[in-house]
Every structure is written in C-alpha cells, then in structure tokens.
C-alpha cells in the first residue's frame, strides 16, 4: 500500500513521501497564484479554484488568501462562500453541501497526529474526513476538528472549536462547541 493509499484510508502514513510532497507542492503553486491575484483578475482566480478543488458546484466564491494541503480532497456544492484567510487541511475528504458560508479565518482540519509520543516522533500522521451539510454558516475563526460531521441548517458561532458531530438545525458555540439552542428552519 502506498503512503497516499494509507492517507486516503485513514491509516498512519508518512507525509514526507515524495508523491505526497509533490501533490502538496502543486496545490501550493495554485493557491499561491490565487492569493496574489487582485480583484481585477477575479474571473481567472475563480477558474483556478475550480481547478484546485476536487469538485465544486456553481457559485463558488472564495476570498483570498486561501490555504489547503491538496485541494483535490475538497468537494463543495453550489453557492459556497469562503471569506478571507480560510485554511482547509484536506488530507482526507472535506465535503460541503449547498449554501455554505465560512467566515474569515475558518479552519477545517482532517489531519491529526497520534496521541502516542513514539509514533508522533516518527512524524507519522493520519486523518479523518469532515462533512458539512446544506445551509450551514460557520462564523469567523471557528475550527472544525478531524472526523466531525455537521448537519443541515446549522450555525456555528465565531471562535467555536467543533470537536464532535453537530445535529441538524442547531446553533453551537464555545470551546469545545456545544449546542446552545435549536433553530426553527
């Protein structure tokens, strides 16, 4: 099994593998171009996001700067907006539904490291996918941790750290994020 196959299956893998380093390098070249383009080149910038992401529906709007690991593990539905300075560590799939809004400085992580110091010292890592439903608003500076699934119609408060799955139609906030109230959608 290659390191990439291990990575995509959620097993411990070596991120310094040459194939993975090359793929991250390609993604960086694309998002670095994106991040240096002004609004006068917005159309070209948008085309590069469609090239970078594994799948993207109509109406994708991303404000640079933007950062990711691979890009091809990001799949978004229609009418997805990401505000300034979003970072998606897409070692595994990050799937977003339709009508998803990310505030500035939102961070979505699939990458994680072993709890055991010996494995961490070997620079091994693994990942857990993140899934975000339809009609979700994630407030500025929120962090979505590895393995989290966020339901439909959810609002995540600014600065929240989401460590566990979130059911449909709720407002969550805090660190760690907790359900604050239901939303009548």
Question: pLDDT by residue (tens digit) across 75-114?
Answer: 999 999 999 999 999 999 999 999 999 999 999 999 999 9
Do 115 and 98 form a contact (C-beta atoms < 8 A)?
A: no
Report how far residue 144's alpha carbon sits from residue 165's, in angstroms, rounded to the nearest whole number: 10
Report how far residue 79's alpha carbon sits from residue 29's, in angstroms, rounded to the nearest whole number: 25
Do 53 and 33 form a contact (C-beta atoms < 8 A)?
A: no
Kindly report the CATH number assigned to the domain that includes residue 54. Answer: 2.160.10.10
- Out of 42, 113, 120, 181, which one is annotated catalytic? 113
First to last CA, the chain: 45
Q: Report CA 99 to chain centroid distance, whole Å.
A: 15
Contacts of 132 (CB under 8 A, 6+ apart): 94, 95, 96, 97, 100, 138, 144, 149, 150
Report how far residue 120's alpha carbon sits from residue 106's, in angstroms, rounded to the nearest whole number: 26
Q: Over pLDDT 70: what percentage of the chain?
A: 100
> What pTM value is reported for the model?
0.96
Q: Quick one: pLDDT band at residue 38, thresholds 50, 70, 90?
A: confident
Report how far residue 105's alpha carbon sits from residue 7's, in angstroms, rounded to the nearest whole number: 26
> In the chain, how many domains are there?
1
DSSP letter assigned to residue 106: -
Annotation marks residue 113 as catalytic = yes
Q: What is the pLDDT of residues 127-161, one digit of tens each?
A: 999 999 999 999 999 999 999 999 999 999 999 99
CA separation (Å) from 149 to 70, 156, 181?
20, 12, 18
On average, the pLDDT of the chain sits at: 97
Task: Return the exposure string of 83-100: e unless at least 16 CB atoms fall within 10 Å of the residue's CB, then b.
Answer: bebbbbbbbbbbbbbbbb
Note down the domain range covering 12.
Answer: 3-182
Say what the pLDDT of residue 119 is: 85
Say what the pLDDT of residue 104 is: 98
Mean per-residue pLDDT, 43-62: 96
């Amino acid at each position: 099994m290659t390191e990439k196959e291990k990575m995509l299956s959620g097993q411990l893998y070596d991120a310094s593998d040459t194939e993975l380093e090359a793929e991250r390098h390609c993604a960086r070249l694309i998002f670095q171009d994106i991040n240096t383009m002004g609004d006068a080149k917005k159309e070209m910038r948008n085309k590069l996001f469609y090239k970078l992401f594994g799948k993207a529906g109509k109406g994708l709007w991303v404000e640079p700067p933007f950062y990711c690991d691979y890009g091809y593990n990001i799949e978004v539905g229609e009418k997805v907006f990401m505000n300034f300075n979003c970072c998606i560590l897409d070692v595994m799939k990050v799937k977003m539904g339709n009508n998803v809004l990310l505030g500035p400085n939102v961070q979505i992580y699939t990458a994680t490291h072993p709890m055991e110091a010996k494995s961490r010292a070997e620079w091994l890592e693994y990942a857990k996918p993140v899934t975000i439903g339809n009609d979700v608003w994630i407030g500025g500076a929120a962090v979505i941790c590895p393995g989290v699934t966020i339901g439909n119609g959810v609002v995540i408060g600014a600065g929240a750290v989401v460590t566990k799955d979130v059911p449909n139609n709720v407002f969550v906030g805090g660190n760690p994020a907790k359900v604050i109230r239901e939303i009548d959608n």
